[in-house]
């Protein structure tokens, strides 16, 4: 009798797990070992890793991607199934104090070694990313030509780290990546029937706006973002932080959300840790306790996928096999972080402070800092003036600052948004990575019914000239 009861009890557990009837995280004994290597339902694991910036002041984004690669490689993913997008101008940059080495934490090991250079330089662009995700080799230009040639039983993991703004993600090349285009491509991927489930980790300011009101349920896609649609994300391991990078570094080594999920992967057995468990730990660490130096980690799409084990997408480090997961957050919580948009200013400031008096290095750092500040002030004042020209001194700022309710997309007409961006840039210069913060204000002009003729007239009146420094240059084309 006891034997039959035990068999029935075991079958009930199996049925519950297979049927996804568990609403809470699955509890496992420390001695339990799960081997999914022979489970056909896992299929092939694919990954796309994207660092969407360039320049040494953005060191952290390529460091994040290199660290992510090491986690996947150690976890058992093959290079043929990992596609890496990174500009690759950091490891051997003259400013890098350790030539050929990239670190993602103050005491961290080199994460650059062995990383595939699939798409580098100007091959890191929106068109190639979409072609790779869709598995369309005919539309790939440059690079290794590697694409996600996935099948119906395969799992896909996408990790994207960069600057962002409401409804937009940066790229080292123009145009930038707009939220509506990304979500349409995700729908195309689903319609092709070439994956079983897809997990998307996104690090950027206002990153929640990329999926909020845009990513529908039913695509078997789970997305988590570093911030909600209205706030910045944060750099970490920055000069002046604790812990600080080694003294020879004058730039941030990582991003808070990204470091949180990767350092969690470094120490846990991903066979038994679920996406949901990691989400909770990362959410707590990224908040920095009170959100003053942190952000609200969000999740979108098909949330039931969060009960999947991380192993299904990332594999796991065999050295962590005996690790017992604890709900208690053992990850280090930085008491201070740096707003992503200010990380470049911090870099220039520390270069200036450390350079010898009267040296060319000090002069150059001062010039860079001044150029960046000049560009920021120009963009801020131009957007504000355009709002006042279109709606008056009182109503203008109100229109620009309007925030839509959660679950509603940034803009009704994405073509209008992109047209207005190009119109603004024609008269006022490039928005660049900093100017992405104003994308909501530009979207609000579309939502308020402003015509392109009105936008052109206001932009022309607001910007009789614009700074000629690289930040404002249109030599690389439009960001939309």
Q: How far apart are CA 67 and CA 75, in angstroms?
A: 12
Tokens representing residue 420 in the block: 């207005």
Tokens representing residue 253 in the block: 């080594």
Helix or strand run (H / E) with residue 51? strand 45-51
Buried b (16+ CB within 10 A) or exposed e, 149-169: ebeeebbbbbbbbbbbbbbbb
Tokens representing residue 350 in the block: 């520390």
Q: Would you call 338 helix, strand, or coil by DSSP?
A: strand
Which residues does residue 470 pair with via DSSP β-bridges, in sequence order? none
Q: Which of 220, 169, 206 is nearest to 61 (CA)?
A: 169
Residue indicated by tokens 């395969």: 154
Instruction: Check: CB of residue 476 under 8 Å from CB of residue 174.
Output: yes
Instruction: Check: CB of residue 467 under 8 Å from CB of residue 380.
Output: no
For strand 155-161 and strand 82-85, is the pairing parallel, antiparallel, or unpaired?
unpaired
Q: Which of 267, 264, 308 is nearest to 25 (CA)?
A: 308
Which residues does residue 400 pair with via DSSP β-bridges, in sequence order? none
Catalytically active residues, by annotation: 163, 205
Strands (E) across 305-449 are located at: 338-339
What's the number of CA atoms in the CB half-sphere (13 Å) around residue 314? 33
What's the number of CA atoms in the CB half-sphere (13 Å) around residue 43? 18
Distance of alpha carbon 290 from the chain centroid: 22
Q: Which of 301, 306, 318, 298 is nearest to 277 (CA)?
A: 306
Q: Would you call 348 helix, strand, or coil by DSSP?
A: helix
Q: How many CB atoms lie within 10 A of CB 192?
A: 13
């Amino acid at each position: 009798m006891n034997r039959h009861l035990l068999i029935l009890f075991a079958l009930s557990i199996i049925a519950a797990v297979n049927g996804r009837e568990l609403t809470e995280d699955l509890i496992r004994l420390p001695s339990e070992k799960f081997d999914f290597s022979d489970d056909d339902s896992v299929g092939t694991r694919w990954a796309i890793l994207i660092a969407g910036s360039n320049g040494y002041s953005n060191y952290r984004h390529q460091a994040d991607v290199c660290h992510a690669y090491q986690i996947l490689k150690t976890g058992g993913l093959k290079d043929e199934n990992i596609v890496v997008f990174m500009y690759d101008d950091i490891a051997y940059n003259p400013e890098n104090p350790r030539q050929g080495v990239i670190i993602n934490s103050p005491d961290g090991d080199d994460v650059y070694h062995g990383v595939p250079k699939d798409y580098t330089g100007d091959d890191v662009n929106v068109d190639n990313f979409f072609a790779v995700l869709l598995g369309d080799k005919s539309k790939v230009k440059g690079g290794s030509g590697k694409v996600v040639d996935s099948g119906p039983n395969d799992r896909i993991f996408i990790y994207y780290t960069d600057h962002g703004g409401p409804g937009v993600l940066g790229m080292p090349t123009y145009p930038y990546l707009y939220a509506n285009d990304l979500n349409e491509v995700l729908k195309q991927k689903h319609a092709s029937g070439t994956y079983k489930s897809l997990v998307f980790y996104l690090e950027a300011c206002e990153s929640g706006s990329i999926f909020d009101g845009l990513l529908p349920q039913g695509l078997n896609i789970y997305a988590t973002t570093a911030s909600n649609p209205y706030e910045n994300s944060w750099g970490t391991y920055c000069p002046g932080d604790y812990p600080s990078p080694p003294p020879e570094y004058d730039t941030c080594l990582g991003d808070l959300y990204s470091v949180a999920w990767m350092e969690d992967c470094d120490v846990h057995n991903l066979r038994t840790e679920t996406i949901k468990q990691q989400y909770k730990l990362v959410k707590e660490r990224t908040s920095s306790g009170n959100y003053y130096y942190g952000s609200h980690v969000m999740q979108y799409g098909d949330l039931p996928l969060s009960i999947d084990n991380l192993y299904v997408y990332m594999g796991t480090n065999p050295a962590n096999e005996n690790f017992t997961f604890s709900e208690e957050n053992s990850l280090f919580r930085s008491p201070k972080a740096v707003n992503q948009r200010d990380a470049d200013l911090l870099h220039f400031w520390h270069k200036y402070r450390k350079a010898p008096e009267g040296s060319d290095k000090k002069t150059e750092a001062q010039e860079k800092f001044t150029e960046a500040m000049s560009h920021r002030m120009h963009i801020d004042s131009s957007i504000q003036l355009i709002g006042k020209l279109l709606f008056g001194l009182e109503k203008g700022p109100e229109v620009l600052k309007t925030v839509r309710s959660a679950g509603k997309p940034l803009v009704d007409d994405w073509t209008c948004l992109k047209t207005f961006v190009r119109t603004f840039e024609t008269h006022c210069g490039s928005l660049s990575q900093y100017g992405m913060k104003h994308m909501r204000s530009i979207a609000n002009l579309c939502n308020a019914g402003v015509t392109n003729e009105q936008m052109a007239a206001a932009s022309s009146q607001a910007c009789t000239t614009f700074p000629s420094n690289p930040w404002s240059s249109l030599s690389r084309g439009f960001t939309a």
